[in-house]
Structure formats: structure tokens, C-alpha cells
Copies of this chain bind each other. A is one copy, B any other.
Amino acid sequence: MDQPGTTPAAPQRRTRQRAAVDQILTHLEEFRTAQQIHDVLRRQGDSVGLTTVYRTLQAMVESGQLDALRTDDGETAYRRCSSGHHHHLVCRSCGRTVEVSGPAVERWASAVADEHGFRDVSHDLEIFGTCGSC
């Protein structure tokens, strides 16, 4: 029998496409959808099939290299695991975005999670408002 959810073996060959996707993710701090990554690749010259991007990302999530989450838009977004992160303060009016971070939230988030018995915690926070110039 096979262990449920455990891939017997993951050969993982090194291919141009995978290297390209991997490289993109290395340079990105934020969550990006498969399609966005596909676009960047294309614009960058490395033509990789959308299908391959999807399959590569999935494989990376399964092997624990990526974190995936669903956007409110219904798309799946990926980001390299455990990269130092920050949050966004976005202006509703002009779209100006400021990166912010603070130990307070981080601590609170993990404390609350812990309190409820959750492990391997990560979180996502966005703050919206109207900036000074608007």
C-alpha cells in the first residue's frame, strides 16, 4: 500500500522551464498567481506553457517549497515559503502602496493561533485607507 498523500518518489528533473519558474519565485516576495508568473516569464523571454507553470507550482507546493492561498478573486496565489514578509497599506483612491511590518501583529497572530492549537502558522494582512494626498 501507499501512504496517502505521499508521492512515492519525486525525480524532479532539472529543466529550463522549472528553472525559470524557480527563478521568478526567488525574486518575488509577494504572492503571485500562476497566470501572473506565466506573464512575467513570457515578457522576460522565457516562454513556458501555462500548463507547465501550473504543474510546476503545484509540485512545488506539494514538496513544501511554496505556500499557496486563494485570492478573493478566486485565483490561487503562490509564494516561496517562509520568506521574511511584510504587509501592505493600500490607498483606496490612488492605489499607492506602502510596505509595513511590525512585530506586534506577528506576535499576536502566532499567539492566537497557538491558543487554538494551530501550528505552522502564517498570515496575510492588508490595510486599506485614503492616503494623505487624496
8 Å CB contact of A119 from B116, B122, B124, B130: B130
Asked if B100 contacts A104 (CB within 8 A), the reply is no
Asked if B116 contacts A122 (CB within 8 A), the reply is no
A2 within 8 A of B: no
Stoichiometry, as copies per complex, reads: 2
From A12-20, A38-46, A52-60, A64-72, give the one contacting chain B: A64-72
A9 within 8 A of B: no
> Which residues of the other chain, B, contact A92 by a CB distance below 8 angstroms?
120
A8 within 8 A of B: no
Closest 7 CB pairs of A and B: A117-B132, A118-B129, A121-B129, A70-B70, A123-B127, A125-B125, A104-B108
